[in-house]
Structure 1
């Protein structure tokens, strides 16, 4: 049975945030709200938790995992960012985007796309997401909580609890969220390519692809 924390979406309670992070630090799988629906995550280095997420999401090793980072400086530890990419990231983070970038050696190999050695990177300004990351002190290995054959991220914390309370360790209820996952922008090959249109506006990238 998972722990269920109802956390204020604008003013997260520090005590509850710390309790949620404690479970993550102990190897737990976390469902949490973002600015683009709910996500599911764990610590970067936790192989067992990652494998549990793969089973819940029904995804394989070719899936692009995402590191949810606090800011650009943390992002640059885990991804290779040239001048062009840095300008795009600076202008569009935090935001409703996942950027695909070449990974640094700080990223465990099991999280990388095996062919391209890339990783997804996100920076969100959602108050709960930011509070969790600040308390954890490192990025969350994360992916949108899209279940089964659905196209959209889960948005209702009560429905999530009914479906996953025996499969995850912590569910953070931050109220209802939008269903559209992030817009995915691939910057890994010195080009700009929008590979998934989601909640992030594609206009900043229209003339660059």
Structure 2
């Protein structure tokens, strides 16, 4: 497999290149892409073969998969989650797009798609036009899971050239969106109604409470 390597700019992603990425996703490809925090690996949420490939790349054998979805906005989240508390929806509307992952109770649709036993799903709407434009053109969310680094100091891979070295021939396409952050998103658990920060990351939830 030859890995495509393309450059995109967050401020104004080239629509032709976005279409190129979407074409790869529609054909069941796995991509690596920038977000507003760390680089992510993903695929179309409806392509089970691509999801299985990501599990292999990440060494995941369990059915308790911690994948999150990247959405363009909040308009489609009712398809993938059970009914939200009004307070949770208001909080998400204020905090997103932004560096947060909201853990919500998933609808029955999600475990079937992921071939997983998880009853929750993470939702991300990153403040980065590249993944959002991809999702908007694809017309459904993509999986997001982090790219970890082998370095003893850096937890996540931040340099797209080094990511290419590591994953060349293993994924279908890598997007160079500039250097990524080494700080992941703040994870907020809303499954019990009240917002509970379970991992401190780049986002400060107190600004929106």
Partner of 1:12: 13
2:99–2:127 contact (8 Å) kept in structure 1: no
Partner of 1:191: 194
Distance 1:181-1:113 versus aligned 2 partners, 3 A rule: farther
**1:51-82 superposed Cα distances (whole Å, 9 cap, x missing partner):** 21122223343232111001111222212222
State TM-score, norm by structure 2. Answer: 0.89
Partner of 1:138: 140
Distance 1:200-1:112 versus aligned 2 partners, 3 A rule: farther
Q: Which runs of 5+ in 1 are unaligned?
A: none
Range moving further from structure 2, 186-195 or 160-169: 186-195
The whole-number CA distance in structure 2 between the counterparts of 1:148 and 1:188 is 33
Range moving further from structure 2, 28-37 or 134-143: 134-143
1:70–1:130 contact (8 Å) kept in structure 2: yes
Partner of 1:123: 125
Question: Which 4+ runs in 1 deviate beyond 4 A?
Answer: 147-151
The whole-number CA distance in structure 2 between the counterparts of 1:186 and 1:66 is 13
The whole-number CA distance in structure 1 between the counterparts of 2:145 and 2:127 is 17
Number of aligned residues: 205
- Look up the SS of the partner of 2:110 in the other structure: coil
The whole-number CA distance in structure 1 between the counterparts of 2:181 and 2:132 is 18
Offset at 1:33?
0.6
The whole-number CA distance in structure 2 between the counterparts of 1:159 and 1:72 is 33
Offset at 1:109?
2.6
**1:149-195 superposed Cα distances (whole Å, 9 cap, x missing partner):** 87733211000000001110010111111111111111012232211
Decide which of 59, 62, 65 is 2:64's aligned counterpart: 62
- Look up the SS of the partner of 1:128 in the other structure: helix
CA RMSD of aligned residues (A): 2.1
- Look up the SS of the partner of 2:93 in the other structure: helix
Offset at 1:125?
2.5
